[in-house]
A and B are shown apart, each in its own frame.
Chain A
């Protein structure tokens, strides 16, 4: 937006004040004293807050991961014990598998969001605002409220999902307490609640595609669907890449829906618990902070590896203008 102004800068700004300013206010290192003092003062609250409540905690958690927590408080150094335990723990293996299933399902929201955004992106379409609001509603709704209603929808005895399936002759189940279906049922809720958010990102990406491309294509007789495949899809790949990275990072940290919809007493917990749920259970409920810290670092490494991998392969499919 500011580019026209910036481009005009050398001509528009008279050359006189600049050298004058440098001579008067800048120290020998080329810095203005006001800049330095106010720079620190303006950054101080957030910098101190983040140092104290994020960066220091991350360092401390790294230390925790090499300790064993006693039942009366106090942490004793235990070397790599926690990490040895992590490798052998079948519960962590299961929770990793569940997390991957959940992540894979959530990624389905990406093609759905692209399709919806493409439909909404049509010039002169009526009611775009209404559709966008409705699709976005789950994003702003309290997860506890979302989970509660979906628990009712999925209920094995009186849930409307089973009633609907019954109409077409498909036998239902107690979706959330059946260990074969729980994580998939949660995954569907995750798709439902993230599709609106992703759609907004894709819509923004599509609106930045120059209209001339479509104009040229339609003069050449390309159908709307062909234009979508040949123009829209390739040109939004930077957005697709970004959304995929964010979706994977967020899904690997899934907790809310699992905690709210399955919970500690469910028979399906083992086949639905995610890595962060396991972290919560070990660290907070069972006070095994050291082991939980190790789980958190395994998760961090996992996120870093997968994200790096995504950045590696992006060259093969992302088209930057």
Chain B
């Protein structure tokens, strides 16, 4: 719309500044992008270097010949395959759990009237505001009491339930027209049928946003896995890579190769579902 103002004020100066300012904008944005990407570039280059090249003084940017063997060495040097599977199980369980349970709870908070709803809502809200460290010691003892320490179940369990996810889904359901519920209810559907058959399909975007956010957050979660599981074969990659840094401190190329293999799944997921994820972030941000 502001562009329509340009022809109204015919002057070479305006058009000129607009073109040169767009060059300036791109220059600034590219400079920023270079700073953002440089560490990733260095990571990739290091993963292809020999050990000697990775610690050369002055630093070499490119490897003389790419050492792709570093990537296969990851599987020999670290319990990578097992930790990858642990991470996948933890992430899938948390994501599926949150998408289903948070949608259900979010729908109930958005549309159903029942006694105690206000109190429950305040309880959920308080969970959202309390720093998670406050739960940690006691959660550890609960896992211990149920004999779940050093299990993949313990990794996934607390993250299946989310106050944030419930609020996000509540927001999405509140945006849907209430006439849809009413019409279905008049036709004799019970609230579960309305939720499952009508509202859930309409909230696909919300569920995708929550799903991608949960997946990335689970995949990268560090503190909880460090607390409950200390056996390397029960750790996810986040904790595994962290604790293995000490043991393989000097072998940067192999560690970088492992980091890349461990980061790529979420980067791919983000690139594919970017639109849903960013919408989810924006809507949770604005509607808080």
What DSSP secondary structure best describes chain B's contact surface?
Answer: helix
Segment among A85-93, A94-102, A149-157, A176-184 that sits at the interface with chain B: A149-157
- Contact of A142 (CB < 8 Å), options: B134, B266, B269: B266
Given the complex of chains A and B, what is the CA–CA distance between A149 and B241 in angstroms? Answer: 12
B72 at the interface (CB under 8 A from A): no
- Contact of A148 (CB < 8 Å), options: B2, B166, B241: B241
Docked-complex contact A50 and B123, CB < 8 angstroms: yes
A95 → chain B, closest Cβ, in Å? 13
Docked-complex contact B46 and A149, CB < 8 angstroms: yes
B162 at the interface (CB under 8 A from A): yes
Docked-complex contact B259 and A39, CB < 8 angstroms: no
Docked-complex contact A300 and B134, CB < 8 angstroms: yes
- Contact of B28 (CB < 8 Å), options: A119, A144, A163, A208: A119
Contacts of B161 in A (CB 8 A): 45-46, 49-50, 53-54
- The chain A residue with its CB closest to the CB of B39 is A149
Docked-complex contact A135 and B219, CB < 8 angstroms: no
Contacts of A229 in B (CB 8 A): none
B11 → chain A, closest Cβ, in Å? 11
- Of residues 245 to 301 in A, which have CB atoms within 8 Å of B's CB atoms? 246, 249, 252-253, 255-256, 259-260, 263, 265, 276, 279-280, 283-284, 289, 292-293, 296-297, 299-300
- The chain A residue with its CB closest to the CB of B227 is A284
Residues of A within 8 A of B (CB): 1-2, 5-6, 9, 12-13, 17, 21, 29, 31-32, 34-36, 38-43, 45-47, 49-58, 60-61, 64, 116, 119-120, 122-125, 127, 129, 131-150, 152-153, 157-160, 163, 166, 192, 195-197, 200-201, 203-205, 208, 211-212, 214-215, 218-219, 224, 239, 242-243, 246, 249, 252-253, 255-256, 259-260, 263, 265, 276, 279-280, 283-284, 289, 292-293, 296-297, 299-300, 303
Question: Mind listing 16 A-B residue pairs with CB under 8 Å?
Answer: A32-B113, A35-B191, A42-B104, A43-B109, A47-B120, A60-B137, A134-B37, A144-B259, A145-B260, A148-B255, A160-B59, A204-B286, A246-B285, A256-B222, A265-B246, A300-B130
Residues of B within 8 A of A (CB): 1-5, 8, 21-22, 25-26, 28-29, 32-33, 35-37, 39-40, 42-43, 46, 54-59, 101-102, 104-105, 107-109, 112-115, 117, 120, 123-124, 126-127, 130-142, 157-158, 160-163, 166, 175-179, 182, 185-186, 190-192, 195, 216, 219-220, 222-223, 226-227, 237-239, 241-242, 245-246, 252, 255-256, 259-260, 262-263, 266-267, 269-271, 274, 278, 281-282, 285-286, 288
Shortest 7 CB-CB distances between A and B: which pairs? Answer: A49-B161, A57-B138, A145-B259, A39-B114, A204-B282, A38-B191, A144-B241
